[in-house]
Amino acid sequence: MAESAATQEFDVLILGGGSAGYSVALRAVQLGFSVGLIERDKVGGTCLHTGCIPTKAYLHAAELAENAREGAKYGIHTSLESIDLAGVRSYKDGIVAGKHKGLSGLLKMKKITVINGNGRLVGQDTIDVDGVAYKGKNIVLATGSTSKTFGLEIGGRVLTSTEALNMETLPKSAIVLGGGVIGVEFASVWNSFGVDVTIVEGLPSLVPNEDPAIIKNLERAFKKRGIKFNTGVFFEKVEQDANGVKVHLADGKTLEADVVLVAVGRGPVTENMGFEEQGITIDRGFVITDERLHTGVGNIYAVGDIVPGVQLAHRGYQHGIFVAEEIAGQKPTIVEDINIPKVTFCEPEIASVGYSEPKAKEKFGEDQIETTEYNLAGNGKSSILGTSGLIKMVRVKNGPIVGVHGIGGRIGEQIGEAQLIVNWEAYPEDVAQLIHAHPTQNESLGEAALALAGKPLHG
């Protein structure tokens, strides 16, 4: 490719304008760098357009549907008349469009040059965008992820989360392949909307990365809600025709439904982008970096979902800020993946950060761990909200709290304090002396810390 004399050069040139890419851009301009941000679709990426934001809009609509159904429990006589999926979609689209406008305006205001087009790394300091070369003194790869399909052809009644968010009508029944975060969130929404849902998960439980106490509680809650699940079994084949889908399982069972959602994880988007040709190490599609997110080639970094680890938008933001500061020579602190807060927004919600009990035992020694479980039945605000659940805290004996795990309606909001506790390596004794306002669900963290400090108040 011929380079024109007018090739534009930036201090920081970013490939991909999702959560990770645009946060590099925002922090880099703050630090005084000139920034080019290449995006072939819409800035905001998966999280804004087909991930976090639209799914949470659906989950909020689902909560309203449940409230309408259950009003009488609180002396408010309501009933759920119907779900207008077009109406839910347009509410969701309005939120996404508003956030997209806001983000585009912010990037413009900060004088970040957004380059629309498909980028390909063609040199250690050069990205070709649809035939035009752009140079970066530093390059950041942030091309994100897409749904894995395990060879299934997507179309018709076989959907990924992206198609599921844009359905015209509600199915009567759905099979969800995958009991991880995306799978249980969709199962939760559809169940609230009156869809008959069955989950298939190859591993022995739903949300297999969570603490066993959380898993048990979620499975019990899902059963109570009428969400069916087959765990410890893989699917073998999916067939569709005009009448529906059939999913054949390895145990010989066949499930039938109107649609099937393929939610079996997300893979990196790195194919045919020239990364390997420039000497970057790729493993199963992921870009391999050192712990400071450097690829080991030139001044090229990678951030977000293309770097192996938990695929979450806020990890992408943190990666973005980290790399911009690293380029500026500020030597930012590394946050280990284990200490990244995670929320699964199904009903009941799950919030967790740090080590689960089994992982803590593996890391610190079987007899070095103490745990406590505080049942939300003892928490006034949870009873008012009509939710059950628990907070589990994991500490190292005579040491800090290394894991906080919660389940219950709205418990996601408690992740803020939980992640401070774990990341600041607080001792239960430190947290126990702090005051948690009454009546809030936040008190459950205080109660758990009091119990771990050996002086439980209401337990």
Ligand X SMILES: Cc1cc2nc3c(=O)[nH]c(=O)nc-3n(C[C@H](O)[C@H](O)[C@H](O)COP(=O)(O)OP(=O)(O)OC[C@H]3O[C@@H](n4cnc5c(N)ncnc54)[C@H](O)[C@@H]3O)c2cc1C
Tell me which residues are annotated as active site. 438
Of 273, 350, 360, 445, the one binding ligand X (CB under 6 A) is: 273
19 forms part of the interface with ligand X (CB under 6 A):
yes
User: Binder to ligand X among 12, 13, 14, 20 (CB under 6 A)?
Assistant: 20
Residue from 16, 179, 354, 446 binding ligand X (CB under 6 A)? 16
161 forms part of the interface with ligand X (CB under 6 A): yes
DSSP per-residue codes, 3-62: PPTT-EEEEEEEE--SHHHHHHHHHHHHTT--EEEEESS-TTHHHHHHSHHHHHHHHHHH
Verify binding: residue 38, ligand X, rule CB under 6 A. Answer: yes
Round to whole Å and give the CA distance between 336 and 131: 39
Cα–Cα nearest to 326, from 308, 303, 351:
303
CB of 313 to ligand X, least distance (A): 4
Among 67, 118, 173, 368, binds ligand X (CB under 6 A): 118
Closest-CA residue to 193 (of 96, 117, 85):
85
Verify binding: residue 403, ligand X, rule CB under 6 A. Answer: no
Altogether, the residues listed in the chain come to a count of: 459
Output 260 or 273, the one with its CB closest to ligand X.
273
Within 313-332, the residues that bind ligand X by CB under 6 A are 313-314, 316
C-alpha 97/C-alpha 59 separation (Å) is: 18
* Residue (327 or 451) nearer to ligand X, CB: 327
Contact string (CB under 6 A) for ligand X, positions 341-360, x = contact: ----x---------------
State the binding string over 163-182 for ligand X (x if CB under 6 A, else -): -------------------x
Residue 115 touches ligand X, criterion: CB under 6 A: no
- Give 426's strand partners: none
**Contact assessment for residue 150 and residue 262, using Cβ atoms and an 8 Å cutoff:** yes
Contact with ligand X (CB under 6 A) among 126, 138, 143, 388: 143
Among 144, 178, 179, 403, binds ligand X (CB under 6 A): 144
The Cα–Cα gap between 268 and 270 comes to: 6
Q: 3-state secondary structure string, 432-455?
A: HCCCCCCCCCCHHHHHHHHHHCCC
CB of residue 42 vs ligand X: minimum separation in angstroms?
7
Q: How far apart are CA 392 and CA 352, in angstroms?
A: 9
| Residue 306 Cβ vs ligand X, minimum distance, rounded to whole Å | 6
- Which of 29, 312, 394, 452 is in the footprint of ligand X by CB under 6 A? 312
Site membership for ligand X, residue 305 (CB under 6 A): yes
146 DSSP 8-state letter: E
DSSP 8-state code for residue 296: S
Using CB under 6 A, list all residues that contact ligand X.
Answer: 15-21, 38-41, 45-47, 50-52, 55, 118-119, 142-145, 161, 182, 269, 273, 304-305, 311-314, 316, 345
